[in-house]
Protein backbone atom coordinates (compact mmCIF):
# COMPACT_ATOMS: atom_id res chain seq x y z
CA UNK A 1 0.00 0.00 0.00
CA UNK A 2 1.25 3.48 -0.89
CA UNK A 3 0.43 6.26 1.56
CA UNK A 4 0.57 9.90 0.50
CA UNK A 5 0.73 12.70 3.04
CA UNK A 6 0.87 16.33 1.96
CA UNK A 7 4.40 17.66 2.07
CA UNK A 8 5.29 19.61 5.17
CA UNK A 9 2.41 18.25 7.23
CA UNK A 10 4.30 15.37 8.89
CA UNK A 11 1.20 13.24 8.97
CA UNK A 12 -0.99 16.12 10.00
CA UNK A 13 -3.92 17.34 8.02
CA UNK A 14 -5.37 20.27 6.24
CA UNK A 15 -8.74 20.53 4.57
CA UNK A 16 -7.90 23.35 2.21
CA UNK A 17 -5.03 24.59 0.11
CA UNK A 18 -2.46 26.17 2.41
CA UNK A 19 -1.99 25.80 6.15
CA UNK A 20 -4.70 24.33 8.30
CA UNK A 21 -7.28 26.93 9.16
CA UNK A 22 -6.92 28.75 5.84
CA UNK A 23 -9.83 28.60 3.47
CA UNK A 24 -9.98 29.14 -0.28
CA UNK A 25 -13.14 31.13 0.29
CA UNK A 26 -12.19 34.75 0.66
CA UNK A 27 -13.57 36.62 3.70
CA UNK A 28 -16.76 38.27 2.64
CA UNK A 29 -17.23 42.00 2.89
CA UNK A 30 -20.55 43.69 3.70
CA UNK A 31 -22.95 43.46 0.78
CA UNK A 32 -23.86 46.59 -1.14
CA UNK A 33 -27.39 47.95 -0.62
CA UNK A 34 -28.74 46.21 -3.75
CA UNK A 35 -27.49 42.75 -2.80
CA UNK A 36 -29.50 39.92 -1.19
CA UNK A 37 -26.29 38.39 0.17
CA UNK A 38 -26.39 38.04 3.98
CA UNK A 39 -23.81 40.14 5.79
CA UNK A 40 -21.55 38.21 8.16
CA UNK A 41 -19.25 39.97 10.59
CA UNK A 42 -16.18 41.38 8.79
CA UNK A 43 -13.32 38.94 8.37
CA UNK A 44 -15.19 35.75 9.25
CA UNK A 45 -14.32 32.73 7.10
CA UNK A 46 -16.80 30.39 5.51
CA UNK A 47 -16.17 26.66 5.76
CA UNK A 48 -17.42 23.46 4.17
CA UNK A 49 -19.99 20.89 5.23
CA UNK A 50 -19.32 17.21 5.87
CA UNK A 51 -21.19 16.54 2.61
CA UNK A 52 -18.82 18.74 0.62
CA UNK A 53 -15.79 17.08 2.21
CA UNK A 54 -17.18 13.61 1.49
CA UNK A 55 -17.81 14.47 -2.16
CA UNK A 56 -14.28 15.86 -2.51
CA UNK A 57 -12.58 12.83 -0.97
CA UNK A 58 -14.78 10.45 -2.98
CA UNK A 59 -13.71 12.12 -6.21
CA UNK A 60 -10.06 12.15 -5.15
CA UNK A 61 -10.13 8.46 -4.24
CA UNK A 62 -11.77 7.65 -7.56
CA UNK A 63 -9.06 9.54 -9.44
CA UNK A 64 -6.35 7.71 -7.50
CA UNK A 65 -8.01 4.36 -8.21
CA UNK A 66 -8.44 5.03 -11.94
CA UNK A 67 -4.98 6.51 -12.52
CA UNK A 68 -3.00 4.50 -9.98
CA UNK A 69 -1.37 7.74 -8.83
CA UNK A 70 -1.67 9.53 -5.46
CA UNK A 71 -3.65 12.75 -5.35
CA UNK A 72 -2.70 15.79 -3.26
CA UNK A 73 -5.72 18.01 -3.93
CA UNK A 74 -9.05 17.82 -5.71
CA UNK A 75 -11.48 20.31 -7.22
CA UNK A 76 -15.25 19.82 -7.21
CA UNK A 77 -18.40 21.82 -7.85
CA UNK A 78 -20.72 22.56 -4.96
CA UNK A 79 -24.42 23.38 -5.35
CA UNK A 80 -23.69 27.09 -4.82
CA UNK A 81 -20.06 27.44 -5.90
CA UNK A 82 -17.97 26.06 -8.76
CA UNK A 83 -14.37 24.91 -8.81
CA UNK A 84 -13.68 24.57 -5.08
CA UNK A 85 -10.34 22.96 -4.26
CA UNK A 86 -9.71 20.76 -1.22
CA UNK A 87 -6.26 19.71 -0.09
CA UNK A 88 -5.92 16.12 1.09
CA UNK A 89 -4.28 14.85 4.26
CA UNK A 90 -4.05 11.28 2.98
CA UNK A 91 -4.21 9.22 -0.18
CA UNK A 92 -3.73 5.47 0.23
CA UNK A 93 -3.52 3.08 -2.72
CA UNK A 94 -3.76 -0.70 -2.86
CA UNK A 95 -4.87 -3.07 -5.64
CA UNK A 96 -8.46 -2.33 -6.60
CA UNK A 97 -8.96 0.21 -3.82
CA UNK A 98 -8.06 3.79 -2.85
CA UNK A 99 -8.76 5.93 0.21
CA UNK A 100 -8.47 9.73 0.55
CA UNK A 101 -9.14 12.08 3.44
CA UNK A 102 -9.48 15.78 4.15
CA UNK A 103 -9.97 17.71 7.39
CA UNK A 104 -13.25 19.52 7.78
CA UNK A 105 -12.82 23.24 8.43
CA UNK A 106 -16.15 24.80 9.42
CA UNK A 107 -14.76 28.32 9.21
CA UNK A 108 -15.33 30.81 11.98
CA UNK A 109 -18.64 29.37 13.14
CA UNK A 110 -17.50 25.80 13.82
CA UNK A 111 -19.67 22.89 14.91
CA UNK A 112 -18.71 19.65 16.63
CA UNK A 113 -17.39 18.15 13.39
CA UNK A 114 -14.83 20.92 12.89
CA UNK A 115 -11.38 19.32 12.58
CA UNK A 116 -12.70 15.83 11.88
CA UNK A 117 -11.13 13.88 9.03
CA UNK A 118 -13.69 12.97 6.37
CA UNK A 119 -12.53 9.93 4.40
CA UNK A 120 -13.79 8.15 1.33
CA UNK A 121 -12.63 4.72 0.16
CA UNK A 122 -13.58 3.48 -3.30
CA UNK A 123 -13.29 0.00 -4.76
CA UNK A 124 -14.43 -1.70 -7.92
CA UNK A 125 -17.51 -3.93 -7.98
CA UNK A 126 -18.62 -6.38 -10.63
CA UNK A 127 -22.09 -4.87 -11.06
CA UNK A 128 -22.59 -1.45 -12.69
CA UNK A 129 -23.70 1.39 -10.45
CA UNK A 130 -22.47 3.27 -7.40
CA UNK A 131 -23.06 1.96 -3.88
CA UNK A 132 -22.74 4.26 -0.84
CA UNK A 133 -21.74 2.67 2.46
CA UNK A 134 -21.10 3.85 6.01
CA UNK A 135 -17.64 3.22 7.36
CA UNK A 136 -16.17 3.96 10.76
CA UNK A 137 -17.78 6.96 12.44
CA UNK A 138 -20.66 7.42 9.99
CA UNK A 139 -24.08 6.64 11.40
CA UNK A 140 -26.73 4.27 10.12
CA UNK A 141 -30.43 5.17 10.25
CA UNK A 142 -32.49 2.89 12.50
CA UNK A 143 -35.72 4.86 12.99
CA UNK A 144 -38.33 6.24 10.57
CA UNK A 145 -38.99 9.91 9.97
CA UNK A 146 -35.67 10.93 8.45
CA UNK A 147 -34.97 11.74 4.78
CA UNK A 148 -32.91 8.53 4.53
CA UNK A 149 -34.42 5.06 4.68
CA UNK A 150 -33.89 2.72 7.64
CA UNK A 151 -30.71 0.68 7.29
CA UNK A 152 -29.04 3.22 5.03
CA UNK A 153 -25.94 5.29 5.84
CA UNK A 154 -26.84 8.64 7.40
CA UNK A 155 -25.85 10.56 4.29
CA UNK A 156 -28.52 13.11 3.47
CA UNK A 157 -30.02 13.44 -0.04
CA UNK A 158 -27.97 16.40 -1.29
CA UNK A 159 -24.60 14.96 -0.16
CA UNK A 160 -25.63 11.63 -1.74
CA UNK A 161 -26.16 13.36 -5.06
CA UNK A 162 -22.90 15.30 -4.70
CA UNK A 163 -20.88 12.16 -3.94
CA UNK A 164 -22.49 10.16 -6.73
CA UNK A 165 -22.00 12.95 -9.25
CA UNK A 166 -18.38 13.53 -8.25
CA UNK A 167 -17.53 9.82 -8.58
CA UNK A 168 -19.42 9.46 -11.85
CA UNK A 169 -17.70 12.49 -13.39
CA UNK A 170 -14.29 11.21 -12.37
CA UNK A 171 -14.70 7.56 -13.34
CA UNK A 172 -16.30 8.31 -16.70
CA UNK A 173 -16.37 5.42 -19.15
CA UNK A 174 -14.77 3.09 -16.59
CA UNK A 175 -18.25 2.69 -15.11
CA UNK A 176 -19.70 1.23 -18.30
CA UNK A 177 -18.72 -2.32 -17.45
CA UNK A 178 -18.41 -2.29 -13.66
CA UNK A 179 -19.37 -0.27 -10.60
CA UNK A 180 -17.89 1.40 -7.55
CA UNK A 181 -18.51 1.06 -3.84
CA UNK A 182 -17.91 4.31 -1.96
CA UNK A 183 -17.44 4.04 1.80
CA UNK A 184 -17.50 7.27 3.79
CA UNK A 185 -15.70 7.22 7.15
CA UNK A 186 -15.02 9.69 9.97
CA UNK A 187 -12.47 8.40 12.47
CA UNK A 188 -13.74 9.32 15.93
CA UNK A 189 -17.18 10.04 14.51
CA UNK A 190 -18.98 7.77 16.97
CA UNK A 191 -17.69 9.84 19.88
CA UNK A 192 -18.47 13.11 18.09
CA UNK A 193 -22.04 11.92 17.49
CA UNK A 194 -22.66 11.81 21.23
CA UNK A 195 -22.59 15.63 21.16
CA UNK A 196 -25.35 15.71 18.54
CA UNK A 197 -29.00 14.67 18.33
CA UNK A 198 -28.08 11.51 16.41
CA UNK A 199 -28.51 9.05 19.31
CA UNK A 200 -32.02 10.35 20.00
CA UNK A 201 -32.90 10.28 16.32
CA UNK A 202 -31.86 6.65 16.04
CA UNK A 203 -28.74 7.30 13.99
CA UNK A 204 -26.34 4.74 15.38
CA UNK A 205 -22.58 4.47 15.10
CA UNK A 206 -21.51 7.95 14.12
CA UNK A 207 -22.29 11.35 12.67
CA UNK A 208 -24.46 12.27 9.71
CA UNK A 209 -23.09 13.57 6.42
CA UNK A 210 -25.01 16.79 5.88
CA UNK A 211 -25.32 20.01 3.92
CA UNK A 212 -27.61 21.42 1.24
CA UNK A 213 -25.22 24.02 -0.21
CA UNK A 214 -21.84 22.55 0.71
CA UNK A 215 -20.86 25.73 2.54
CA UNK A 216 -20.97 26.58 6.25
CA UNK A 217 -21.77 30.26 6.71
CA UNK A 218 -20.09 31.92 9.70
CA UNK A 219 -22.95 33.69 11.42
CA UNK A 220 -23.18 34.58 15.06
CA UNK A 221 -26.72 35.32 16.19
CA UNK A 222 -26.16 39.06 16.11
CA UNK A 223 -24.57 38.92 12.66
CA UNK A 224 -27.34 36.70 11.31
CA UNK A 225 -30.00 39.07 12.59
CA UNK A 226 -28.14 42.02 11.16
CA UNK A 227 -28.15 40.34 7.75
CA UNK A 228 -31.90 39.72 8.01
CA UNK A 229 -32.50 43.38 8.74
CA UNK A 230 -30.28 44.56 5.88
CA UNK A 231 -32.08 42.32 3.37
CA UNK A 232 -35.52 43.39 4.54
CA UNK A 233 -34.53 47.04 4.54
CA UNK A 234 -33.23 46.82 0.98
CA UNK A 235 -36.44 45.11 -0.12
CA UNK A 236 -38.58 47.77 1.56
CA UNK A 237 -36.55 50.60 0.03
CA UNK A 238 -37.11 49.00 -3.37
CA UNK A 239 -40.90 49.08 -2.90
CA UNK A 240 -41.29 45.37 -2.18
CA UNK A 241 -44.45 44.94 -0.12
CA UNK A 242 -44.36 41.16 0.44
CA UNK A 243 -41.60 39.72 2.64
CA UNK A 244 -41.08 35.99 2.06
CA UNK A 245 -39.47 34.62 5.20
CA UNK A 246 -38.05 31.15 4.60
CA UNK A 247 -36.54 28.85 7.17
CA UNK A 248 -33.78 27.68 4.81
CA UNK A 249 -32.53 27.30 1.26
CA UNK A 250 -34.93 24.50 0.34
CA UNK A 251 -38.11 26.26 1.44
CA UNK A 252 -36.88 29.35 -0.40
CA UNK A 253 -36.25 27.34 -3.57
CA UNK A 254 -39.66 25.65 -3.37
CA UNK A 255 -41.47 28.96 -2.90
CA UNK A 256 -39.60 30.62 -5.75
CA UNK A 257 -40.56 27.77 -8.05
CA UNK A 258 -44.17 28.01 -6.94
CA UNK A 259 -44.27 31.80 -7.32
CA UNK A 260 -41.78 32.74 -10.05
CA UNK A 261 -43.43 36.15 -10.40
CA UNK A 262 -42.59 37.18 -6.84
CA UNK A 263 -39.55 39.53 -6.75
CA UNK A 264 -36.39 37.75 -5.64
CA UNK A 265 -35.47 40.74 -3.54
CA UNK A 266 -38.34 39.94 -1.19
CA UNK A 267 -37.01 36.49 -0.23
CA UNK A 268 -35.04 36.31 3.01
CA UNK A 269 -33.70 33.17 4.69
CA UNK A 270 -34.33 33.80 8.38
CA UNK A 271 -33.45 30.37 9.77
CA UNK A 272 -34.59 30.10 13.38
CA UNK A 273 -35.09 33.85 13.83
CA UNK A 274 -38.71 34.20 12.79
CA UNK A 275 -39.42 36.34 15.85
CA UNK A 276 -36.82 38.93 14.89
CA UNK A 277 -37.77 38.84 11.21
CA UNK A 278 -41.47 39.43 11.88
CA UNK A 279 -40.65 42.40 14.10
CA UNK A 280 -38.54 43.93 11.32
CA UNK A 281 -41.24 43.27 8.70
CA UNK A 282 -43.61 45.28 10.88
CA UNK A 283 -41.06 47.99 11.57
CA UNK A 284 -40.30 48.45 7.86
CA UNK A 285 -43.94 48.67 6.83
CA UNK A 286 -44.48 45.58 4.67
CA UNK A 287 -48.11 44.72 3.93
CA UNK A 288 -47.64 40.94 3.91
CA UNK A 289 -45.32 38.27 5.28
CA UNK A 290 -45.18 34.79 3.80
CA UNK A 291 -43.64 32.18 6.10
CA UNK A 292 -42.31 29.13 4.27
CA UNK A 293 -40.89 26.06 5.96
CA UNK A 294 -41.23 22.38 6.76
CA UNK A 295 -43.08 20.62 9.51
CA UNK A 296 -40.42 20.79 12.24
CA UNK A 297 -40.16 24.57 12.47
CA UNK A 298 -43.78 25.20 11.45
CA UNK A 299 -44.93 22.93 14.30
CA UNK A 300 -42.99 25.11 16.74
CA UNK A 301 -44.49 28.27 15.28
CA UNK A 302 -47.92 26.64 15.59
CA UNK A 303 -47.33 26.76 19.35
CA UNK A 304 -46.34 30.41 19.20
CA UNK A 305 -42.61 29.64 19.43
CA UNK A 306 -41.21 32.10 16.92
CA UNK A 307 -37.61 31.43 17.95
CA UNK A 308 -37.18 27.87 16.70
CA UNK A 309 -33.55 27.02 17.49
CA UNK A 310 -33.13 23.64 19.17
CA UNK A 311 -31.58 25.40 22.18
CA UNK A 312 -35.04 26.84 22.81
CA UNK A 313 -36.59 23.37 22.73
CA UNK A 314 -37.17 20.65 20.18
CA UNK A 315 -40.31 19.47 18.46
CA UNK A 316 -43.09 19.01 21.03
CA UNK A 317 -44.53 15.55 20.38
CA UNK A 318 -47.14 15.95 23.11
CA UNK A 319 -48.46 18.96 21.20
CA UNK A 320 -48.48 17.02 17.93
CA UNK A 321 -50.29 14.16 19.63
CA UNK A 322 -53.00 16.55 20.83
CA UNK A 323 -53.41 17.95 17.31
CA UNK A 324 -53.57 14.40 15.97
CA UNK A 325 -56.30 13.59 18.47
CA UNK A 326 -58.29 16.58 17.23
CA UNK A 327 -58.21 15.26 13.67
CA UNK A 328 -59.12 11.67 14.44
CA UNK A 329 -56.19 9.80 16.01
CA UNK A 330 -57.21 7.30 18.69
CA UNK A 331 -55.52 6.97 22.08
CA UNK A 332 -53.15 4.26 20.89
CA UNK A 333 -51.91 6.30 17.96
CA UNK A 334 -51.51 9.37 20.17
CA UNK A 335 -49.23 7.34 22.45
CA UNK A 336 -47.12 6.32 19.46
CA UNK A 337 -46.92 9.94 18.30
CA UNK A 338 -45.69 11.05 21.73
CA UNK A 339 -42.72 8.71 21.34
CA UNK A 340 -42.11 9.54 17.65
CA UNK A 341 -38.62 10.13 16.34
CA UNK A 342 -39.17 13.30 14.32
CA UNK A 343 -42.03 15.50 13.13
CA UNK A 344 -41.77 13.73 9.78
CA UNK A 345 -42.22 10.44 11.62
CA UNK A 346 -45.51 11.80 12.96
CA UNK A 347 -46.60 12.51 9.39
CA UNK A 348 -45.80 8.93 8.42
CA UNK A 349 -47.75 7.50 11.36
CA UNK A 350 -50.83 9.55 10.49
CA UNK A 351 -50.55 8.72 6.80
CA UNK A 352 -50.38 5.02 7.61
CA UNK A 353 -53.55 5.42 9.70
CA UNK A 354 -55.31 7.23 6.86
CA UNK A 355 -55.67 10.44 8.88
CA UNK A 356 -55.31 13.76 7.08
CA UNK A 357 -55.27 17.35 8.21
CA UNK A 358 -52.20 17.64 10.44
CA UNK A 359 -50.29 19.97 8.13
CA UNK A 360 -53.29 22.20 7.47
CA UNK A 361 -54.00 22.56 11.17
CA UNK A 362 -50.36 23.41 11.93
CA UNK A 363 -50.21 25.96 9.10
CA UNK A 364 -53.40 27.61 10.36
CA UNK A 365 -52.15 27.77 13.95
CA UNK A 366 -48.78 29.13 12.81
CA UNK A 367 -50.53 31.85 10.80
CA UNK A 368 -52.71 32.76 13.77
CA UNK A 369 -49.75 33.01 16.14
CA UNK A 370 -47.67 35.03 13.68
CA UNK A 371 -50.59 37.40 13.06
CA UNK A 372 -51.05 37.87 16.81
CA UNK A 373 -47.29 38.27 17.30
CA UNK A 374 -47.35 41.42 15.11
CA UNK A 375 -50.74 42.57 16.45
CA UNK A 376 -52.34 42.20 13.04
CA UNK A 377 -50.05 44.77 11.45
CA UNK A 378 -49.98 42.93 8.11
CA UNK A 379 -51.33 39.87 6.33
CA UNK A 380 -49.65 36.57 7.15
CA UNK A 381 -49.51 33.49 4.95
CA UNK A 382 -47.89 30.18 5.93
CA UNK A 383 -46.67 27.62 3.37
CA UNK A 384 -45.76 24.16 4.68
CA UNK A 385 -43.71 21.92 2.36
CA UNK A 386 -42.48 18.36 2.53
CA UNK A 387 -38.82 17.58 2.05
CA UNK A 388 -39.27 17.10 -1.72
CA UNK A 389 -40.98 20.44 -2.25
CA UNK A 390 -44.65 19.41 -2.37
CA UNK A 391 -46.89 22.03 -0.79
CA UNK A 392 -48.76 20.20 1.96
CA UNK A 393 -50.70 23.11 3.43
CA UNK A 394 -51.27 26.86 3.13
CA UNK A 395 -53.05 29.22 5.50
CA UNK A 396 -53.63 32.94 5.38
CA UNK A 397 -54.78 35.46 7.95
CA UNK A 398 -55.49 39.16 7.65
CA UNK A 399 -57.19 41.38 5.13
CA UNK A 400 -57.67 38.68 2.49
Does the domain at 2-216 match CATH 3.30.2110.10? Answer given as yes
Write down the pLDDT at residue 32. Answer: 31
d(CA 6, CA 29): 31
Nearest alpha-carbon partner for 215 in 139, 175, 162, 266: 162
Q: Which residue has the higher pLDDT, 59 or 233?
A: 59
Predicted local confidence at residue 50, as pLDDT = 96
Rounded-to-10 torsion of CA 332, 312, 310, 365: 50
User: What are the extents of the domains in the chain?
Assistant: 2-216, 221-397
Separation CA 164–CA 157 (nearest Å) = 11
Distance CA 387, CA 254 (A): 10
> Distance between CA 389 and CA 394 in Å, rounded?
13
For the segment 82-136, what is each residue's pLDDT rounded down to a tens digit? 999 999 999 999 999 999 999 999 887 667 899 999 999 999 999 999 999 999 9
351-376 pLDDT per residue, tens: 999 999 999 999 999 999 999 999 99
Residue 81 pairs with which residues in a beta bridge?
A: 78
> What's this model's pTM, rounded to 2 decimal places?
0.63
pLDDT of residue 109: 67
Alpha-carbon gap, residue 400 to 396, rounded angstroms: 8
Whole-angstrom Cα distance, residue 232 to residue 162? 32
Strand order in the sheet with 97-103: 2-4, 90-94, 97-103, 117-125, 179-185, 129-134
Higher pLDDT among residues 41 and 286, named by residue = 286
Comparing 69 with 146, which gets the higher pLDDT?
69
Q: Tell whether the model's pLDDT for residue 167 goes beyond 90.
A: yes
Percentage of the chain beyond pLDDT 90 is 70
- For the residues 160-166, what does the mean pLDDT come to? 97
| Secondary structure string (H, E, C) spanning 239-308 | CCCEEEEECCHHHHHHHHHHCCCCCHHHEEECCCEHHHHHHHHHHCCCCEEEEEEEHHHHHHHCCCCCEC
What is the residue-averaged pLDDT of the chain? Answer: 86
Which pLDDT band, with edges at 50, 70 and 90, does 306 fall under?
A: confident
* Cα 158 from chain centre: 8
Quick check: helix, strand or coil at residue 79? coil
143 confidence band (pLDDT: 50, 70, 90): confident
Instruction: Return the bridge partners of 279, or none.
Output: none
DSSP one-letter string for 3-32: EE--TTSTT---SSSSSTT--SSPPPPPPP
Amino acid sequence: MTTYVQAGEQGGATSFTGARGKSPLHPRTPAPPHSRTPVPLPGLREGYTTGACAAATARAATRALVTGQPVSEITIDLPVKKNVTFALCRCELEPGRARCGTIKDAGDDPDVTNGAEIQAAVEWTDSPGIILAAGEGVGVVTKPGLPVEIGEPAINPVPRRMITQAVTDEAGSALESRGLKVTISVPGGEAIAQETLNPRLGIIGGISILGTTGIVKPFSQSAYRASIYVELKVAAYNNITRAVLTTGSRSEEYTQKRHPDWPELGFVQVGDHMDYALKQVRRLGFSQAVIAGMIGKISKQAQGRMQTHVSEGGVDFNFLAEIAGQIGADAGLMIRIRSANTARHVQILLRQAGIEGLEQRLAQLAAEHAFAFVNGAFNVEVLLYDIRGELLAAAQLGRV
